Structure 1
Amino acid sequence: MTAIRILIFSFLIPDEFSLTLGSLVLSGYRIVLIALAPYILWLMLKRGHDVDWNHCDVMACIVFIWPTLAFGLNTGLTAAIESGGVLALEMGVPYLLVRLNVNNYDERKKLATSFLTMVTILFLVGLPEAITGQHFTHEIAAQLTGQSYTGIADQRYGIWRAIGPMDHAILFGTLCASFVVIAITLAQRQRKFWPAVFFAGGGAVISASSAPILAILVQLGMLTWALLLRRHANKWWLLLLLFLVFYVFVDILSNRDPVRVMFSYLLINPATGYARYYMWINGIEVLTQSTWGMVFGYGYDISIFDVIDDFYSRNLMQNTVDSYWLVLMLRYGATMAALFAVFLLFVLRRSLKQTRRLSKRKDRRLMQAWFISAFAMTLIASTVHFWGQMACVYVMVLAACVGRTPPRRKRSGSGTTTQHKIGRRVSPSPVD
């Protein structure tokens, strides 16, 4: 777990400490990822035979490799090595690091504790920023490295948006909010984790963003549903069915699209929701302009947005596309989104199966918390673009959901049967 902790706390290193090699920017966590790559290879050779590699891992490898291929076809070998390689590094190393090291309740708890410690640090660093409007972390880092920090403080609802060492307030808030349900689950067994619940929720609040608050609401709703129907094996399928019924019901009764209705009532600022809604509409329009774009995407070519008729939307999408899934589709094609969707379905399905197979109640609840966190992050990714540290955290949460079955008990010798099997087959002798 030491390597995992090192990686997690490297996410707190501001970008002002980055090194530049040509066009390649090596931030603190990227340097750690590069250093961990040989360790991952060694660990796979040492423990790989004990890991129950499954279809989740196969799809993960395909998802990690596809961007390099798409970049190579769109922009050439150099971009494929740099941009595609960096993306493969940021997704592959964190995923494999968790898969090879996180197996049982204690290891999942240690992983959760490390993330909650990071969230606590983020909140304590971000709180003064929310009060004063100064980005102390980046400003101090810029003074130490001699770089210039040009970030501008942004205020919403009387709160200065905290960013801490992150690149943007929405990443700060989403990262904190993603671990609320895990903190609550641990706090139900140990009271010492209740402050972490406050810090995770507080981090979402001081980011002054709608998406992190929505992420918390989704987690609390799913946790409540899980507790109410804890003995129902198909509770998540039932929840999905109820959502579909609700969607159809709203679509029939309202003269607006159900998605826009939800934006009106679920977000702090519905205007930002509408902007993202039309961003998706315009993004799909751009994506469907050519078969090549549908399959392989457009790389970093922003001229493709000129096909949009709306001048405001065109300029908005050239500057920012606030959706992780939409960015993946535009850069690497709808193929990338389809591959990632299959990967996600495999991961969430396996997580539910693992939860049912666990014998202890505390194991099931913690695995369920990781499942809820992963689902909430997946949902919020439709309105938030994950980049940098946040993208690494996302794949680590997904990897924690996959789990790893302990190695099978070996036979004690040739032609013999283990004591465990004997105990099940032969009744014990009577006590004298």
Structure 2
Amino acid sequence: MLLAAAWMLVAASATAGMGSLASPAAESLQFLFSYIVGRAFFFRPPALNTFIRVLKILTIAMILIAAAENIAGRWLAHEAAASIFGTTPLGAVFRGNTIRATSTLDHPILFGVFCALVNAILLLWERSAGRRLLFSVICLAGCVLSQSSAALMAYVLGVAAYVYDRQMRQTPARWTIFWVLFGGAIGAVFLVTEHPIGWLVSHLTLDPETGYYRMLIWDAALERIGQSPLTGYSFQLFNENILDSTVDCVWLVEALRFGIPASAFLFLANMAAIWPAGRRKAPSADEFDQRMNLAFAIVLLLFVFSGITVHFWNYMWIFWGLCIGIKASLRERAVSR
């Protein structure tokens, strides 16, 4: 995390100069400070319990706002905030004739993916099967209201990981088996298909036209990254319609802004937090830690995977750093026993 944050500042200063560090510093420090909050304040079970309890309440409130937006056909939260602060609200996004709800977040995709991530946490936090089902359905409603393929994909993967762990609980090597099968499937895609990234992106979207557009983004972004692989271009514009409008991949965005090392450090920060603490069986008293370790490991993997077709910024960027910090704290507790 320190290397990722530091590299963003170093790369941006090398590219655009010290006078252009406002946006790079904001992105870097948001991510690093949210991680530090996760490491400092959610190290013990009572604090983490309180955090998830509040997170659940806020998520339900956000989904209720999203349902109201669906009925009204307007982004109610954004309009309310704009009227309070005297600004212009963001324009609502539609798919067909139906509004894509965004609630209090910046984009429907971010809202939908957020609901999917919270679902993965609540599935392993709630003790009652009935409450798990109830809140999972509520989170699914948020994903559906966002009309985001990335959100629905993340929801399905989170539920599948939970069910897989429950069904294979008696198999100690269940996650080793999972990663072998997953790696084999990805390897097959890269061996068999002519454009592996294009195949993955096109199959992770509901709209084929959207998938095709994302393939154009990848081609244009990779060409630019190849011209400045170490430091990127900071927040400079490219004078290209595709790259200057939207780049729907957090890994490409970070590489474009701060070079390949920034994306590499970001990926390694997630992997370092997820990496197994050891094979020693933990005592039954640590059952809460075991469940939360798995929950936040799933969340980080969903962030990593969803990032192939989603760019995270503002609140979701901060939430990502916070989740890495929480998972790192849980891992440290497991290592210290």
Normalising by the residue count of structure 2, what TM-score does the alignment of the two structures yield? 0.89
Q: Which runs of 4+ in 1 moved over 6 A?
A: 406-409
Deviation per residue, 1:274-322 (Å, 9 max, x gap): 3223322321111112xxx11111112222xx6xxxxxxx412221111
Is there any run of 5+ residues in structure 2 with no aligned partner, and where? none
Do residues 405 (structure 1) and 330 (structure 2) align? no
Query: Which residue, out of 160, 164, 172, partners 2:99?
Result: 160
User: Matches of residues 55-204 of structure 1 in structure 2 within 5 Å?
Assistant: 60-80=1-21, 82-149=22-89, 151-156=90-95, 159-189=98-128, 191-192=130-131, 194-204=133-143
User: Matches of residues 31-430 of structure 1 in structure 2 within 5 Å?
Assistant: 60-80=1-21, 82-149=22-89, 151-156=90-95, 159-189=98-128, 191-192=130-131, 194-250=133-189, 257-263=195-201, 265-289=203-227, 293-303=228-238, 314-350=240-276, 353=278, 357=282, 359=284, 360-403=286-329, 404-405=332-333
Rounded to whole Å, the distance in 2 between the matches of 1:301 and 1:143 is 31
Change in Cα spacing, 1:358 to 1:79, as seen in structure 2 (3 Å) is farther
Q: How many residues align?
A: 334
SS in 2 for 1:294: coil
| Contact kept in structure 2, 1:133 and 1:154, CA below 8 Å | no
Rounded to whole Å, the distance in 2 between the matches of 1:399 and 1:124 is 29
TM-superposed deviation, 1:147: 2.0
The amino acid of 2:226's aligned partner reads: T
Percentage of pairs with the same residue: 23
Change in Cα spacing, 1:285 to 1:233, as seen in structure 2 (3 Å) is farther
TM-superposed deviation, 1:158: 5.0
Change in Cα spacing, 1:171 to 1:255, as seen in structure 2 (3 Å) is closer
Is there any run of 5+ residues in structure 1 with no aligned partner, and where? 1-59, 307-313, 410-432
Rounded to whole Å, the distance in 1 between the matches of 2:280 and 2:295 is 10
Normalising by the residue count of structure 1, what TM-score does the alignment of the two structures yield? 0.71
RMSD of Structure 2 on Structure 1 (CA): 2.6
Rounded to whole Å, the distance in 2 between the matches of 1:356 and 1:397 is 24
Higher relative contact order (CA 8 A, sep 6+): 2
Change in Cα spacing, 1:407 to 1:243, as seen in structure 2 (3 Å) is closer
TM-superposed deviation, 1:86: 1.2
The amino acid of 1:99's aligned partner reads: R
The amino acid of 2:6's aligned partner reads: I
SS in 2 for 1:296: coil
Deviation per residue, 1:109-145 (Å, 9 max, x gap): 2222222222111101111111221111121222222
The amino acid of 2:215's aligned partner reads: Y
Change in Cα spacing, 1:264 to 1:329, as seen in structure 2 (3 Å) is closer
TM-superposed deviation, 1:372: 0.7
Change in Cα spacing, 1:145 to 1:340, as seen in structure 2 (3 Å) is closer
The amino acid of 2:206's aligned partner reads: I
